[in-house]
Amino acid sequence: MSEDASAAPRYLERADFDRLLEALAARGYTVIGPRVEGGAIVYDELSTSAELPIGWGDEQEGGHYRLRRRGDAALFGYNLGPSAWKRHLHAPRVKLLEAARDADGRLRFERVPAPQPRRAFLGVRACELAAIGVQDRVLVDGAHVDPHYAARRESLFLVAVNCGQAAATCFCTSMETGPRVQGGHDLALTELLDASRHGFLVEAGSDAGAALLEALPTRAADAADIAAAGAAVANAAAGQVRQMAQAGIRDALYDRLEHPRWDEVASRCLSCANCTMVCPTCFCTTVEDVTDLSGEHAERWRRWDSCFTLDFTHLHGGPARTSAKSRYRQWLTHKLAGWHDQFGESGCVGCGRCITWCPVGIDITEEVAALRALPDPSANGAS
């Protein structure tokens, strides 16, 4: 980004918010943003601010989520819903190739081209931007680029929103991913809502963002706007009741592979895979081949998979991780320890989705704390 793009923040009135949506549409972007659906906030296509979750907040705990009326008209007054942006970037199902027999009876393979939608994500939180960054490093930045993810990612315009409050399941401050947006965005909004006004502090994070911002009816943000935005983010940080200490976590987990806590958590774990489905960084997929009745046509599909399924480790003769203990341990240690070795960072961004959307409310922060509270009795020199 050029120096100019980081120019002083602007202030956009709520009444002018639809100008932002119009400007995105005028530049050819399909806007995907938060909407109320099925009793939760989900990310779907929208065209006007009237479709946003106006006045909705939520209540979250382990295995518990309820939408709640806030008593105001905030556009972004909710916390994270069940569906991460990965649904739109790393799609649940992707057809990879088709095969058909030609007139001579020979098989012809055809790669299915990756669609390149031009989309803007609206309302991306700091932890979610961090999660997109984590998936970028796995799926684009490495030696093996996933063309389907890359195509969806390439023309993405990201409108981030700084959090003004935290859910009880949030722990982004521990993971140092939020609540303030730290980069990777095109625009960052902070909603300012009090008795005297309803508007947004808008900051550009890229040249594209700066250009779009110039087209909006804004004024220069004053000191009061900037202070109010700072207070909102501080409120989101102060409201976090969960933590997960990161210092030494990698070695602490590696030193506790036979810790009795794994058996204890396995007795509660359903192996249902919900945590991995809602996790914004979990990227694992499986490949399924299907043929039709005639045997003349075949398709290869990729779909989300989970380390909690038996097929995930199915090798010759059977699955390698047969116990719930081994599967939970795999997920947790890969996310929080192995990820450091593999990708140079944690695989957790502190969004808390795995806590809220676990049907029995297993809490990753609680499990890690319990593991670290005692050394592994079977290990030597456990830290």
Partner 1 sequence: MSEAHSRPKLAVWKFASCDGCQLSLLDCEDELLAVAEAIEIANFPEASRAVVAGPYDLSLVEGSITTPHDAERIRDIRAQSKTLVTIGACATAGGIQALRNFADVEAFTRIVYARPEYIATLAESTAIADHVAVDFELRGCPISKTQLLEVISAFLAGRRPVTPAHSVCVECKLRGTVCVMVAQGTPCLGPATHAGCGAICPAYDRGCYGCFGPMETPNPAALDARWGELGADRARRERVYRTFNAGAPAFREAAARIAAADEEES
Helix H segments across the chain?
A: 17-26, 86-89, 126-139, 147-154, 172-175, 207-214, 223-238, 249-254, 260-268, 274-278, 324-333, 339-343, 353-356, 364-373
Under the rule (CB under 8 A), what is the footprint of partner 1? 37-40, 42, 63-67, 81-83, 87, 92-93, 267-274, 277-278, 288-295, 303-304, 306, 308-311, 324, 356-357, 359-361
**42 vs 211 by CB, closer to partner 1:** 42
Which is nearest to 280 in space by CA: 86, 116, 10, 46? Answer: 86
Name which of 290, 27, 91 is nearest 19 in CA terms.
Answer: 27
- Closer to partner 1 at the Cβ: 38 or 113? 38
| Distance of closest approach, residue 182 Cβ to partner 1, in angstroms | 28
CB of 305 to partner 1, least distance (A): 8
Answer yes or no: are the C-beta atoms of 146 and 114 closer than 8 Å: no
Token code pair at residue 155: 């023309």
For partner 1, give the closer residue by CB, 23 or 96. Answer: 96
Q: Provide the edge-to-edge strand list for the sheet that holds 157-161.
A: 40-45, 30-37, 119-124, 157-161, 187-194, 197-204, 10-13, 219-220
How many CA atoms, within 13 angstroms, populate the side-chain half-sphere of residue 376?
18
Question: Least distance (Å) from partner 1 to the CB of residue 254?
Answer: 25
By CB atoms closer than 10 A (0-12, 13-18, 19+), residue 269 is: buried
Provide the minimum distance between the beta carbon of 20 and partner 1 in the complex, in angstroms, as a whole number.
26
Measured from the CB atom, is 117 or 375 closer to partner 1? 117
Q: Shortest distance, CB of residue 276 to partner 1, whole angstroms?
A: 9
Assign 3-state DSSP to the chain and report helix, strand, coil percentages, each to 5: 35, 25, 40
> Shortest distance, CB of residue 179 to partner 1, whole angstroms?
23
Burial class (CB in 10 A: 0-12, 13-18, 19+), 107: exposed
Q: Quick one: 26 or 310, whose CB is closer to partner 1?
A: 310
| Nearest to partner 1 of 256, 325 (CB atom) | 325
In angstroms, give the least distance from the CB of 327 to partner 1: 8
Give 44 or 136: the residue with its C-beta nearer to partner 1: 44
Q: How far apart are CA 285 and CA 150, in angstroms?
A: 16
| Bridge partners of residue 94, in order along the sequence | 302
Both structure tokens of 46? 């929208």
Nearer to partner 1, 41 or 189 (CB): 41
Least gap, CB of 170 to partner 1 (angstroms): 16
